[in-house]
Amino acid sequence: MSARQSMRGYLPLFRSELLSVAIFSMVTNLMMLAPTLYLLQLYDRVMLSKNELTLYAITLITCFFFVVMAFSEWVRSMTAIKAGVKFDHLLTDRLFKLGFARNSQPTGPEASQAMQDLTFIRQFLTSNGLFAFFDMPWTLLYVAVLFILNPVLGMLAIALCAIQFGLALWNQRSSEKPLQDAGQARSTAMQFLDSKIRNIETLHVLGMLPHLRARWQALQNRWNQMDASAMQVQNRNQQINKFARYTMQSAMLGIAALLAVKGEISIGAMIASNVLIARALQPFDIIVSTWKQFIQARQSASKIDSLLATEQQPEPVFGTSPIEIKGRLALDNLSVTLEKTGKALLKNINLEIQPGQILGVMGPSGSGKTTLARCLVGVCPWQAGDFLVDGRPINQVPAQTYAKSIGYLPQDIALIEGTIAENIARFEQPDTAKVIQAAQAAGIHEGILRLPQGYDTRLDDANAVLSGGQRQLLGFARAIYQQPAVIVLDEPNSHLDEHGEASLLAALVLLKNQGKTIVVISHRSNILKITDTLLIMGNGEIVHHGPRDEVIAELNQARQKLASKAA
């Protein structure tokens, strides 16, 4: 994976932020010595001299150190937050584009989770868990001070830090898999629920909710069990870690007291040793307590890296002028196969479509018609063969250029939340004249005007304000907005009445006369009235293809032969 694709490639952009956090972590940890120095001065100087001025002086100095420490912690927190926002800005646009990429693989990571994964990473970048990694090297400073107080205390500190480090490693190894399993179970349950919410009306009408609820409950129970198991491991580890930390601090205090009794250190050094060992062990304790958040962030980073790996190379620039799509399409031995099952959806398709023609595509369900349409609009990855646009391979045509030259109406009309005008204008700044022109050509203009707010009527996810036929005509109006060179319609008349279908056919004839390349998939025979060529598909292959009348004649001959054999 290249640096451009991987998240690691962004690290050089954060050198100043990382350096700033490191510097202020150094200042913070140096200022953490203030309580130790204060205790030493308090017990070894003030208590012996009973000098109030000395007490006031060292108290003021210590307070100043505390102010510096608080300021350093605040600055490094602000730096981490700004770095998180910068990180989000750098990746958000790229992930958004990848989530809706033309050639995105259906077997790749879920793009809908990418933004949530980015949030998990940003949250960890601004948490105490990150600061603990910067604070951990300064453990050596506190150990060195303990050596200065007494070599026995220094050796004991090394032993206690080694024990704490071992506990941190044990926590990582024992909790990583349960946390990963719980995260995967949560993702599966949420994806199941989201997919069913999108079809809530059908689920209610057909009485499917009780059965689906049972399946969701099973997934939810699995998640709860795994999450409970992971939390039990985490809680157990935290409690053991807490017990070990308190025991080790008490051991340090006990050994220091013994040394003080023997006269080898002062009372102030005895108290200070407890403060120093607590500070030395603190980073390990924070890492253990935030390990779940770290695992989640690491999983999210892995998913985002997988998504970034699917990114295509930058689109080529041809000269200084943009490409103008004429609409001459050619498929050369194009094949599409499902990677998981190996099932062939299209097999060696050879097809040429010329501008100013209407190609009608027919065939039984499952014959590959929709897959062919998705290939023509550039959203279905193929494993073999070539797809040429005006003689150029599709991967040499800028995606945005081709998208502006395509008018596409899929079987499932996806109208986006927003106004009718915004939907027709493809969420560009609506050109009122062009929006109305597209609606009139599609035969939906009068229907829109009858709505209470006309073109400003807002659509929600259910699009309840529109009938099935109106949604189809609105999708057609969006497809022909700004007169694209290539128009691909998948079952555009399945919900239309006679009047709506007549408007559709009239619009297609007008577009054909304007030199557009038109592909219409339909089961209705009325579409044959306007087609120039006819393609019959079966089992992912071309069964018949040619001028409409010739193909119809071939089909009639085939039927007659079957009828004569049956007789």
pLDDT, one tens digit per residue, over 198-233 is: 555 555 555 666 766 777 777 778 778 888 887 888
Mean pLDDT of 261-270: 84
Residue 534 pLDDT > 80: yes
CATH at 558 = 3.40.50.300
**Cβ neighbours of 469 (radius 10 Å):** 19
| Assigned domain for 324 exists | no
DSSP letter, residue 416: P
- What per-residue confidence (pLDDT) applies to 4? 47
Task: Tell me the pLDDT tens digit for each residue of 69-79.
Answer: 999 989 988 88
pLDDT for 463: 54
Examine the fold and report which residue of 279, 311, 343 is the final residue of a domain before the chain moves on: 311
pLDDT for residue 291 = 73
Residues 411 and 494 placed together within one structural domain of the fold: yes
The residue among 540 and 306 whose pLDDT is bigger is 540
- Residue 201, pLDDT score: 53
Residue predicted with more confidence, 562 or 259? 259
323 domain residue, yes or no: no
Tell me, yes or no, whether 509 lies in a domain. yes
pLDDT at residue 268, as a whole number: 80
- The CA distances from residue 540 to 128, 337, 364, 366, 375, in Å, are 56, 10, 10, 8, 13
Q: Is residue 63 part of a domain?
A: yes
Q: Please provide the average confidence, as pLDDT, over all residues in the chain.
A: 80
Tally of CB atoms within 10 A around 514: 11
Q: Are residues 336 and 255 in the same domain?
A: no
User: Residue 103: what pLDDT?
Assistant: 45
Q: How far apart are CA 272 and CA 44, in angstroms?
A: 11
Is 560 found in the same domain as 418?
A: yes
Q: 155-196: per-residue pLDDT in tens? A: 988 888 888 888 877 877 787 778 777 777 777 777 666 666
pLDDT value of residue 106:
42
Q: What is the DSSP letter of 463?
A: -
Q: What is the CA radius of gyration of the chain?
A: 35
pLDDT score at 60: 93
pLDDT in the model for residue 142: 86
Q: Which residue has the higher pLDDT, 442 or 108?
A: 442
Q: For residue 64, name the pLDDT band (cuts at 50, 70, 90).
A: very high
- Domain encompassing residue 348: 329-566
What pLDDT shows up at residue 33? 85
DSSP-derived letter for residue 544 is: E
Higher pLDDT, 382 or 362: 362
- Using the predicted structure, report yes or no on whether residue 409 has a pLDDT greater than 90: no
- The confidence band for 197, taking pLDDT boundaries of 50, 70 and 90, is low
* Ramachandran quadrant class, 327 (left: phi over 0; alpha: psi -120 to 50; beta: rest): left
Is residue 468 within 8 Å of residue 495, measured between CB atoms? Answer: yes
Between CA 541 and CA 359 the distance in angstroms is: 16
| Cβ–Cβ under 8 Å, residues 374 and 406 | no
Residue 257 corresponds to which tokens in the numbers above?
Answer: 């007291």
- DSSP string over 25-65: HHHHHHHTTHHHHHHHHIIIIIHHH--HHHHHHHHHHHHHH
Same domain, 204 and 148: yes
In a domain, 318, yes or no: no
Query: Are 522 and 374 members of one domain?
Result: yes
34 and 123 housed in the same domain = yes
How crowded is residue 528: how many other Cβ atoms within 10 Å of its Cβ?
16
**Does residue 102 fall inside a structural domain?**
yes
What is the per-residue pLDDT across 312-328, written as a single tens digit (0 to 9) for each?
A: 555 444 444 567 788 88
Same domain, 120 and 167: no
pLDDT at 461: 58
Provide CB contacts within 8 A for 40, sequence distance 6+: 266, 268, 269, 272
Position 52 scores a pLDDT of 84
Residue 300 lies in a domain: no
Q: Please check whether residue 134 is in contact with residue 25, taking contact to mean a CB–CB distance below 8 angstroms.
A: yes
Do 29 and 3 lie in one domain? The reply is: yes
Please write the tens of the pLDDT for every residue from 432-456: 888 888 888 888 888 888 888 888 8
Cα gap 534→61, rounded to integer Å: 91
Q: How many domains does the chain have?
A: 3
**What is the band of 566 on the pLDDT scale with cuts at 50, 70, 90?**
low
Residue 141 pLDDT > 80:
yes
Residue with tokens 């350093």: 72
Do the Cβ atoms of 361 and 521 come closer than 8 Å?
yes
Are 263 and 367 within one domain?
no
pLDDT surpassing 90 at residue 67: yes
Q: What is the DSSP string of 352-411?
A: EE-TT-EEEEE--TTSSHHHHHHHHTT-S--SEEEEEETTEEGGGS-HHHHHHTEEEE-S
Q: Are residues 453 and 532 in the same domain?
A: yes
299 within some domain: no
Which of helix, strand or coil describes residue 490? strand
Please compute the mean of the pLDDT values over residues 509-530 and round it to a whole number: 87
**Domain check: are 439 and 557 in the same one?**
yes
pLDDT at 207: 63
For every residue of 134-193, DSSP letters joined together read HHGGGHHHHHHHHHHH-HHHHHHHHHHHHHHHHHHHHHHHHHHHHHHHHHHHHHHHHHHH
State the pTM of this model: 0.62
Is 110 in the same domain as 143? no
Q: What angle do CA 171, 177, 178 make, to 5 degrees?
A: 85
What is the per-residue pLDDT for 196?
Answer: 60
User: Mean pLDDT over residues 552-557, rounded?
Assistant: 83
What's the whole-number mean pLDDT along residues 501-523? 88
Q: CATH number of the domain that 237 lies in?
A: 1.20.1560.10
